[in-house]
Amino acid sequence: MKKIKAFTILMVIGGLLFLAACGGGNGDNAEGTEGTSEEQIVLNTANITQADNEFSLTLERIGDELEARTDGRITAQHNPAGQLGNESDMMQQLNAGSIDIALITNAQLSNSSPAFGAWLMPFLVDTHEQAYELWTSDEAMALFDTLENENVVGLGYATSGFRYLLSTEPIESVSDLKGFKIRTTPSPTIMDFWNGLESSPTAMPLTEVYTSLQTNVIDGVDIDTESLVSENLHEIAPYMTPSKHMYWSAAIMMNKDLWESLSEDDQQLIQEVVAEVTKENAENVSQHEADLLENGEEELGVTIKEFDYSEFDPVSEQVREKWASENPEIEALLKKAEEIKSE
């Protein structure tokens, strides 16, 4: 009987020691990884533009930087050039979680929330430095709060340049745009601008623009500077008007469920990387545009045609006033932009 009692006592002590050892191990592990995750994370990212466009390169740099800063714990698989569908398709996949991070143009997002039409106001900013200050402002980040029906979290913005005009015949003044068949993006704010100029705006996929210029279906295109070069449209439409009438930007968003599953440290790291990489993005595009204006005639064969862009002012003011009166977020972003431009 004594032997049985002694054996039982030894078993209890041994069990307690084992549990203590296990508890000590979990405590040490928790202390060593507090606020972080050792789980491998592969981010599936996507956007619509060609791989050499700054939109695509920005997403790629975000992935590369996250991989470098986490020693490979976080990596990214990037899908540029609409490999996963058009922007509407990608937005659905982002909501569902089959895409983790997407870069979606603000023109597309204006279909989900009219507030994103704020980015499409005529002559919103004058420089990329102003644009970066604007897109990192509280007013710009507040636009993401209007995406109430989307399962996404806004991380920031990126750019592919100011909008220029590219045409098969030279544009000498605003009056030349009356009846002008121009391909543009079918956003309500953009359509208001071109209709106000009495142009004939036509929405079509970017993949059809080259052929449409060749066959005179359209007379020209309203396009960001990055796509102007990457799509080779200057081969068919050799007249370039660097009007900078709109600023072309896109939102960088993450699936909300994934975001909420991340540690606070990982969330902070992603936000820091996005802020740094998008600042580089703005600087890169600014340099690309300077090179385009300086060397475009020689290297691309374009003829640069300019006129007095103040001729746009009556229509620009009309569009801005209309949308500011209808949407408080647009009004707030317009006021912030004016504040930045006056600094």
Percent of the chain's residues with pLDDT above 90: 84
Residue 328 tokens read as 């408080």
Element (H, E) at 253: strand 247-255
- Looking at residue 186, its pLDDT comes to 85
Please state whether beta strands 247-255 and 101-105 pair in parallel, antiparallel, or not at all (unpaired): antiparallel
Name 76's bridge partners: 43
pLDDT band of 206, cuts 50, 70, 90:
confident
Task: Give the residue from 63, 187, 246 showing the smallest Cα distance to 201.
Answer: 187
- Looking at residue 276, its pLDDT comes to 98
- Looking at residue 184, its pLDDT comes to 93
- Looking at residue 108, its pLDDT comes to 93
Quickly list DSSP for 16-38: HHHHHHHHHHHHHHHHHTTT---
Name 3's bridge partners: none
Residue 151 tokens read as 């399962």
The rounded distance, in Å, linking the Cα atoms of 24 and 19 is 8
Q: What is the 3-state secondary structure (H, E, C) of 182-222?
A: EEECCCHHHHHHHHHCCCEEEECCHHHHHHHHHCCCCCEEE
Residue 306 tokens read as 């300019």
* 86 in Cβ contact with 48 (< 8 Å): yes
- Looking at residue 205, its pLDDT comes to 80
- Looking at residue 7, its pLDDT comes to 43
pLDDT band of 2, cuts 50, 70, 90:
very low
- What is the rounded average pLDDT of the residues 19-36? 38
Cβ neighbors of 78 (< 8 A, separation 6 or more) are 45, 46, 56, 59, 60, 63
Q: Is the dihedral of CA 183, 185, 189, 191 positive or negative?
A: positive
The rounded distance, in Å, linking the Cα atoms of 193 and 320 is 9
Residue 165 tokens read as 């005009």
- The residue with tokens 């993006």 is 185
Whether the pTM exceeds 0.75: the reply is yes
Give the range with max mean pLDDT: 25-29, 225-229, 295-299: 295-299
- The residue with tokens 């970066």 is 132
**pLDDT reading at 31 higher than 90:** no
- What is the rounded average pLDDT of the residues 218-241? 94
Tens digits of per-residue pLDDT, 91-126? 999 999 999 999 999 999 998 999 999 999 999 999
| Long-range CB contacts (within 8 A, 24+) of 60-65 | 61/277, 61/280, 61/281, 62/101, 62/252, 62/273, 62/274, 62/277, 65/273, 65/276, 65/277
Quickly list DSSP for 50-97: -TTSHHHHHHHHHHHHHHHHTTTSEEEEEE-TTTT--HHHHHHHHHHT
Tens digits of per-residue pLDDT, 280-305? 999 999 999 999 999 999 999 999 99
**pLDDT reading at 12 higher than 90:** no
Average pLDDT of the residues of the chain: 90
With 0-12 / 13-18 / 19 or more C-beta atoms within 10 angstroms meaning exposed / middle / buried, residue 2 is: exposed
- The residue with tokens 């202390």 is 31
**Which is higher by pLDDT, 187 or 7?**
187
